[in-house]
Every structure is written in structure tokens, then in C-alpha cells.
Amino acid sequence: MIRRGRAFVQLPGPTNIPERVLRAMSRPATDFAAPDFVALARSAIDDLRRVFATEGEVFAFVSLGHGVWEAALANLVAPGEAVLVAEAGRFARGWRIVAEAVGAEVVRVEGDLRRAVDPSAVAEALAADRERRIRAVLVVHIETSTGIVNDIPAIRRAIDEVGHPALLLVDAVASLAVCELPMDRWGVDLALAASQKGLMMPPGLGFVAVGPRAAARAETGGAPRRYWDWRIRRGPDSYEWFYGTPPVQAMYGLREALDMLFEEGLERVHARHRRLAAAVRAAVARWSEAGTVAFHALEPGERCDAVTALRLPPEARADEIRAFCRDRLSVAFGGGLPPFEGRMIRIGHLGDLNEPMILGALAALELAFVRFGVPHAPGGVEAAIASLVADRELSPGVPDAS
Ligand SMILES: *Cc1c(COP(=O)(O)O)cnc(C)c1O
């Protein structure tokens, strides 16, 4: 079948890559020791500190998010040392599996998969650790599998109230450049991210931002390591920063992506994500009035700005709907991750997106609901339009509709 027009990527990663970033990356091989490249790569890595809102150090790895999960642990936790994992979704589970694989003893705090991590459960588990063996608390900021945002400041307070010395490590893969994560202000000791989500890049780069307590621990602690060791990733040569050949083209892309984020302004980037997420939620709220389609996240205040997870009953054939949307309408949505296979549609709304793209994607999904006979209250797209128009950004000076 010949398909015309643009294909939409409404996945919660990878996200759209702007033309500007693609063009910036389209470059011949260059000498990575050339002063121009060295300066550009250094500036890009250092400028990531603005996005993490930290005075700490940022290290870049040729890696996926899965790799920097291991980077964080390798630098901070020795085999046999304990970590606490707040496990409320597929990605927290993934990080826990890495922790177990590298020999950490894992204390799991398991929550309801439809709710955010309960900070008091974290406090309880830390209080029970009388010998203070737990080295780090691992939390996923936005749990992409459920569309739920965890309350990082509340988890920080939970650690502090118990007076526990554990480091707070945050997976910001789905939240960096999407919503606020002021690492230093929130007392996060380490945050990690990857290139293919809010940073609007192809997959392949992983980042860790390291605060002073985590940096100090890594100097003398951590596991035997080499590739992941951030202590060897300092110095004047770009070859050292990557412990091997620098990903030259990707660094040009990263520089361009950061320029785009800074031109827009990070606060406006966050506001745009809030606005588009609110529009998606307005549509889902309308559809769900018929009682078949429902928000996965039970608590409205815990629904994140990166992805919205819809639950469908098995007879609604969520995966067939997604295949139809992708193959016939050129709109790709995410599906249910274990244990929700075949029962979820996840609408990604992060990265390089604007209002008509979101409306188009919602219209395509509503079309598919009609086509597949999924009971839903019609008018999701109208509800999204109303949500957008009520936003001050789109209607400056117009009194709030609500
Ligand atoms: C996408 C994602 C990951 C995994 O990233 P990869 O680059 O695919 O390894 C980890 N954590 C969260 C929260 C994610 O959204």
C-alpha cells in the first residue's frame, strides 16, 4: 500500500526527531580531536546540566537507558551491598533486574501498579534497615509503562525523615525535558536519562547527572567496573569522555536539540507538555464516560505529562486497534507492557509535538474506536480542543473558560 503524508509517532519513545536535529547529524566523518568538535561536544555535555538543573557533573555514554541503569549502579553499589527499589511498573522492574544481575541485594517496595509509589512504604522499609545497609533508593520518575509520575520530593522527605543515609537515584528517561526535575533542589543524588525521549534524538546516548554525594561515593565505592566508570571519563580529550571513539554525529545532534530546547525555554517546554497532556487526558476522560475505555492511572494527580495509558477490556482488541492505526492510518501508539499485554493503548505525548499533531492522533484513535466498535463516549477530540483553547498560551487575555 502506498501511504502519503507524514507518519505520526505517538510512542512514549522513541519520539519524533526534528528536521533540524537530523540535518545537524548529517555530517561526514570528522577527527574527534579537532578543536571545533571537542568544544562542541564539551558544551553539549555541560549544557545538559541546565536540563537536569544541577551543578553536578554530567557524563555521556554510548548506551541505552538500560545501560545507564547499570552505569549508575556500577559506580555506587558493590556486589553484596543493598539497594531499595520502589517497584511500581515495568521500568522500575527492569532496573531492579539489573541491580540483581550485578550482585546487589534488593529490598523491594512493591506498590499498586495503578498508583504512584507510596513514600511512607519507602520510609517504612528504610526504617526497618537498622544497620543502614541500603546504599541507594531507586525510583523511576515517570513510569512509562503505567503513565504515572512518582513524587520525587516526597520520596526525598521520606528518606530524610527516617534519617537514612541512602542515596536517591532517579530514572528520568521519560521525564527529562518533559516535566520539571530540578535535581539539586529536590535533593536527587543521581539522575539518568537517554537520548530518544524528551531530548528528541535517535536512541544511542545515555546520560547520568551526578550530585556531590554520589560523586564522593564513586571515588572509593562501587563495583569493579571499566566501561561504566565515570572516574575515567574526565580529562581534556573527547576520547576519554566516551572511553573510546566519540559518537561525533550524535553530539552534533545533541547540540542542536539542546539549542532548540533553550530557544523555546525549558519552562515553556514543560508548559507545552502539560498543555498537550491535558488535551489527551480531556479526550480520554470523554471517551471513558461510556465505561469501556478507562485511564490506567487511578489518581488524576498522578497522571504524567509524557504518556497516557488507556485500559481496554480484552474483547476491545487493543493490539489490533494499534496495528490498524499504525498500518492504515500511519499513527503509531504504544501497547501494554507486561502484565498488561493486549489490554492497553499508551499515547505518547512527549518530544517534538504540537497541538495539531496531538489532535490528529486523537482523531485517528477515535476513528479506530468507531471502526472497531469499541464503546466510547464520542467527542474526545472536541474535549481536547476545549482543553487546548482554555490554555492561556493559546488564548492570551481571554478569560479562563472554566
Ligand atoms: C524508555 C525508558 C527506559 C529504557 O530506555 P532504553 O533506552 O530503551 O533502554 C528506561 N526507563 C524509562 C522510564 C523509560 O521510559
Question: How many angstroms separate the CA atoms of 117 and 155, rounded?
Answer: 9
Q: Please enumerate in sequence order all residues whose Cβ is within 8 A of that of 362, keeping only pairs 6 or more positions apart, or say none.
A: 279, 280, 283, 347, 380, 381, 384
Does ligand 1 have an atom closer than 6 angstroms to the CB of 366? no
Mean pLDDT of the chain: 97
pLDDT at residue number 211: 98
Q: Going by CA atoms, what residue is nearest to atom 4 of ligand 1?
A: 65
Q: Is 87 helix (H, G, I), strand (E, B) or coil?
A: strand
Q: Going by CA atoms, what residue is nearest to atom 3 of ligand 1?
A: 65
Does ligand 1 have an atom closer than 6 angstroms to the CB of 202? no
Q: Please enumerate in sequence order all residues whose Cβ is within 8 A of that of 253, keeping only pairs 6 or more positions apart, or say none.
A: 17, 21, 22, 24, 25, 201, 202
Does ligand 1 have an atom closer than 6 angstroms to the CB of 121? no
Percentage, residues of the chain above pLDDT 70? 99
Does ligand 1 have an atom closer than 6 angstroms to the CB of 194? yes
Question: How many angstroms separate the CA atoms of 109 and 132, rounded?
Answer: 16
C-alpha cell at 127: 526504617
Single-letter residue type at 326:
R
Neighbours of 2 (CB within 10 A): 3
Largest CA distance in the chain: 65
Closest atom of ligand 1 to 144 CA is 15
Question: How many angstroms separate the CA atoms of 260 and 96, rounded?
Answer: 34
Residue 399's pLDDT band (cuts 50, 70, 90)? low
Mean pLDDT computed over 306-332: 96
Percentage, residues of the chain above pLDDT 90? 96
Per-residue pLDDT tens over the stretch 218-247:
999 999 999 999 999 999 999 999 999 999
Closest atom of ligand 1 to 174 CA is 15
Question: How many angstroms separate the CA atoms of 228 and 346, rounded?
Answer: 32
Are 175 and 269 in contact by the 8 Å Cβ rule? The answer is no
Helix (H) or strand (E) holding 191: strand 190-194
C-alpha cell at 243: 572511553
Beta bridge partners of 110: 87
Q: Which domains does the chain have, with CATH numbers?
A: 8-14+265-394 (3.90.1150.10), 31-262 (3.40.640.10)
Question: How many angstroms separate the CA atoms of 6 and 330, rounded?
Answer: 7
**Residue carrying C-alpha cell 485500559:** 311
Does ligand 1 have an atom closer than 6 angstroms to the CB of 66? yes
Q: Please enumerate in sequence order all residues whose Cβ is within 8 A of that of 111, keeping only pairs 6 or more positions apart, or say none.
A: 86, 87, 88, 117, 118, 121
Question: How many angstroms separate the CA atoms of 222 and 114, rounded?
Answer: 34
Answer yes or no: is pLDDT of 400 > 90.
no
Question: How many angstroms separate the CA atoms of 362 and 49, rounded?
Answer: 34
Distance (Å) from CA 12 to ligand 1 centroid: 9
pLDDT at residue number 394: 87
pLDDT at residue number 392: 86
Question: How many angstroms separate the CA atoms of 194 and 206, rounded?
Answer: 4
C-alpha cell at 392: 492561556
Are 200 and 352 in contact by the 8 Å Cβ rule? The answer is yes
DSSP 8-state symbol, 98: H
Beta bridge partners of 108: 85
Does ligand 1 have an atom closer than 6 angstroms to the CB of 13? yes
Does ligand 1 have an atom closer than 6 angstroms to the CB of 20? no
Closest atom of ligand 1 to 143 CA is 13
pLDDT at residue number 102: 96
Question: How many angstroms separate the CA atoms of 327 and 250, rounded?
Answer: 30
Beta bridge partners of 170: 139, 191
pLDDT at residue number 367: 98
Give the CB-side neighbour count of residue 159, counting CA atoms within 13 A: 24
Per-residue pLDDT tens over the stretch 105-130:
999 999 999 999 999 999 999 999 99
Residue 3's pLDDT band (cuts 50, 70, 90)? confident
Per-residue pLDDT tens over the stretch 45-62:
999 999 999 999 999 999
Answer yes or no: is pLDDT of 402 > 70.
no
